[in-house]
A and B are shown apart, each in its own frame.
Chain A
Amino acid sequence: MARQTVADGVVSLELAASSGESLPPWQPGAHIDVVLPTGVTRQYSLCGPVKDTARWRVAVLREPDGRGGSQWIHDHLVEGGELRVRGPRNNFPLRPAARYLFVGGGIGITPLLPMIAEAEATGAEWSLLYGGRTRASMAFLPELEGYGERVTVRPQDQYGLLDLAGYLGDPDPSALVYCCGPAGLIDAVEAHCAGWPTGALNVERFAAAAVRQPADDEAEQPIEVELRASGTTLTVPPGLSVLKAVEQAGVPVLSSCEEGICGSCETSVLEGEVDHRDSLLTDDERAANDTMLICVSRARGRRLVLNL
């Protein structure tokens, strides 16, 4: 495994089989699952040349608010280190077309790179609109420069939001649109393409970084949760939510969305520091540390005391 920083907060990794054997074939749009030593599994799009069976390239954006996978790679994966991977699999295949309109946002450029190479190889007409926060945060610019005018690079700090209307234009029955990036971008592209023929738009979403997702596979440590009113103490293993553990202990508690949105599982916290992973509480409510949504949130330390 070789690593290289390719933009602010983005490292690219080149992976080769430790046995030295050649790697399985794949098609543009494919991703691999990376299984980290912490037990976390993350998907990364393959972004090197399809023909290269000796190594795979992926790029990893550090997501401080993510589930810890990207942080681990940035902080602990060293040059020459080992990674377990599965795949490749392809949920985002490139279908044949005379014309392609690619829209990439931030790290969403990765699956598009081999697609672009393919479009170029087959002689299709194509263009790319590539947005990011700042130029420095956008990976693979030198590589893309080689394509000349087909590529439009639009960092947000210089140009604002992407001019999707200008770029996509009117529905073109001969064209396919491929978009990957943050949810907001995909939503906007979807809105634009509402009038396009069915199937013209193809997107790959990756989870929004801003919102902490349920703890399932991330919870690194077991935590101890005392339910003061019931006089019970539980050990909540990684991978189990506090809500589920409480339910399994036979303590009745309301819940509905189990995603940290609805607030029905809200529980008062008597002791311990909460690691808030919900979407609902405000910053003030979080800072007060006296309430938590137990379906997704956990403890910063090893112990919580709840009013249950």
Chain B
Amino acid sequence: MTLTQHVRNGWYLGAWSDEIGRTLKQRWITDIPVCFYRLPDQTVTAVEDRCPHRKYPLSLGHLDDDGTLQCDYHGYRFDGQGVCVGVAEQADKPKAALRRFPLVERDGAIWIWPGDPELADESLLPDTSWLTDPNWTHVHGVVPLKARHMLLLENLLDLTHETFLHPTSIGNAAVAATPIDVTVDGDRVGFSRRMIGIEAPPFYEKSCGLTSPVDRWQDGDFYPPGIFVLNIRVAATGTEEPDGFHMKVLYGMTPGRGNETHDFYALGRDYLIDDEELTRFQHEQQLAVMQEDVDALEAQEIMYATDPGGTAESSIKSDLAALRGRRAVAKMLTREQQAGGTRPRASA
């Protein structure tokens, strides 16, 4: 597993809407420095965070009230379209423009397409309406991860790790013991696991007030290269599907710089939506669980990074979804490179 090149022709979660305002925010995405900001009409903009003059980060510059972005090294100024409109030093305008990225802002999330703008297709985005649906409530944020995006992807596509890595919260023996069904639809990879009549894991016991036995369903969908949505249903055993407790977890797995990844998350539920105590509890738990993942992934990253010869991995049946996920990403990468990509070869 040495896939460290990043697919760029795909949507990544670039930022949560509430992170971006009239200040300049730098975030590396697929090894590209990106500067996010809002224009006076509130539309969000993302440009490559390198000044065309001497590459100084524009995010260290400033934004005028009229939406003009100024580089604070030698004073290049750019309009809302990223076109250079002048420089403090001289009267005539230098010929320069910033690279701007296709963005979609929807349901409180800002999606960015770091690759060929011609190919940016909104229909590839998953349904995120639950993030703003009045019958749902959610918490969200982003956690820094010093591990390559593929490791996070495999972590999410192989939830058998819950049994071992999260035994005090969301995992118990039933997760690893229940096999998954894996489906592939074009580039998408989905899995589903039905745990029937199992012991309630502590997190669900507390967040749904359920006692064992419970039915627990996990349906994960990976929208390559970087979006994962988990549909969760927990119910007293025997309860019909629509009557259970529903939760959704969205992960934006956004490659940053080198082998760093932005681990965006949103955790939503459709019950007791006004219970702030519960919201706080769930958010704390979500972060605690993610920290367990982050610790594991960062330890794992070191092992992959220091094994350049790539000693063979051993794989088992429960890896199937993750292995298909790898293949999906590898295929996108190949497609991208064959389409005259400017990227170096992948070492997959």
Residues of A within 8 A of B174 (CB): 191, 194
Q: Given A184-B179, A195-B199, is A256 in contact with B320 using a C-beta cutoff of 8 Å? A: no
Q: Could you tell me the distance between the alpha carbons of A264 and B220 in the complex, rounded to whole angstroms?
A: 25
Q: Could you tell me the distance between the alpha carbons of A166 and B212 in the complex, rounded to whole angstroms?
A: 12
Interface set of B (CB-CB < 8 Å, partner A)? 172-174, 177-179, 184, 194-199, 213, 237-238, 312-317, 319-320, 323-324, 327
Contact B199 A194 (CB under 8 A): yes
Residues of B within 8 A of A255 (CB): 312
Contact A282 B324 (CB under 8 A): yes
Contact A188 B196 (CB under 8 A): yes
Whether A183 sits at the interface, judged by CB under 8 Å, is: yes
Q: Could you tell me the distance between the alpha carbons of A261 and B237 in the complex, rounded to whole angstroms?
A: 33
Residues of A within 8 A of B313 (CB): 256, 262
Smallest distance from the beta carbon of A121 to chain B beta carbons, Å?
31
**Which of these, B237, B238, B320, contacts A279 with CB under 8 Å?**
B320
Residues of A within 8 A of B173 (CB): 190-191, 194
Residues of B within 8 A of A190 (CB): 173, 177
Contact A279 B179 (CB under 8 A): no
Q: Could you tell me the distance between the alpha carbons of A264 and B313 in the complex, rounded to whole angstroms?
A: 9
Stretch from A36-44, A47-55, A157-165 that touches the partner: A157-165
Complex: chain B residue closest to A187, CB-CB: B177
Q: Given A165-B237, A263-B327, is A191 in contact with B198 using a C-beta cutoff of 8 Å? A: yes
Interface set of A (CB-CB < 8 Å, partner B)? 161, 163-166, 183-184, 187-188, 190-192, 194-195, 211, 254-257, 261-264, 279-280, 282-284
Q: Could you tell me the distance between the alpha carbons of A165 and B316 in the complex, rounded to whole angstroms?
A: 28
**Which of these, B177, B196, B238, B320, contacts A280 with CB under 8 Å?**
B320
The A-B contact count (CB < 8 A) is 75
Contact A192 B312 (CB under 8 A): no
Q: Given A163-B238, A187-B177, is A192 in contact with B197 using a C-beta cutoff of 8 Å? A: yes
Q: Could you tell me the distance between the alpha carbons of A211 and B179 in the complex, rounded to whole angstroms?
A: 13
Contact B197 A280 (CB under 8 A): no
Residues of A within 8 A of B319 (CB): 261-262
**Which of these, A188, A254, A280, contacts B324 with CB under 8 Å?**
A280
Contact A256 B315 (CB under 8 A): yes
Q: Given A165-B213, A279-B317, A282-B324, is A192 in contact with B198 using a C-beta cutoff of 8 Å? A: yes
Q: Could you tell me the distance between the alpha carbons of A279 and B319 in the complex, rounded to whole angstroms?
A: 10
User: Told that A166-B197, A188-B195, A191-B174 touch, could you supply 11 new A-B pairs with CB distance under 8 A?
Assistant: A163-B197, A184-B178, A187-B177, A192-B198, A194-B174, A194-B199, A195-B199, A261-B319, A262-B319, A264-B312, A283-B184
Contact B314 A257 (CB under 8 A): yes
Q: Given A165-B213, A184-B179, A279-B320, is A256 in contact with B197 using a C-beta cutoff of 8 Å? A: no
Residues of B within 8 A of A211 (CB): 317
Q: Could you tell me the distance between the alpha carbons of A280 and B316 in the complex, rounded to whole angstroms?
A: 11
Q: Which of A165, A190, A194 has the most CB of B within 10 A?
A: A165
Smallest distance from the beta carbon of B64 to chain A beta carbons, Å?
52
Contact A262 B323 (CB under 8 A): yes
Residues of B within 8 A of A264 (CB): 312
Residues of A within 8 A of B237 (CB): 163, 165-166
Smallest distance from the beta carbon of A214 to chain B beta carbons, Å?
14
Contact A261 B315 (CB under 8 A): yes
Q: Given A164-B196, A263-B323, A263-B327, is A257 in contact with B238 using a C-beta cutoff of 8 Å? A: no
**Which of these, B184, B312, B317, contacts A282 with CB under 8 Å?**
B184
Complex: chain B residue closest to A186, CB-CB: B177
Smallest distance from the beta carbon of A30 to chain B beta carbons, Å?
27
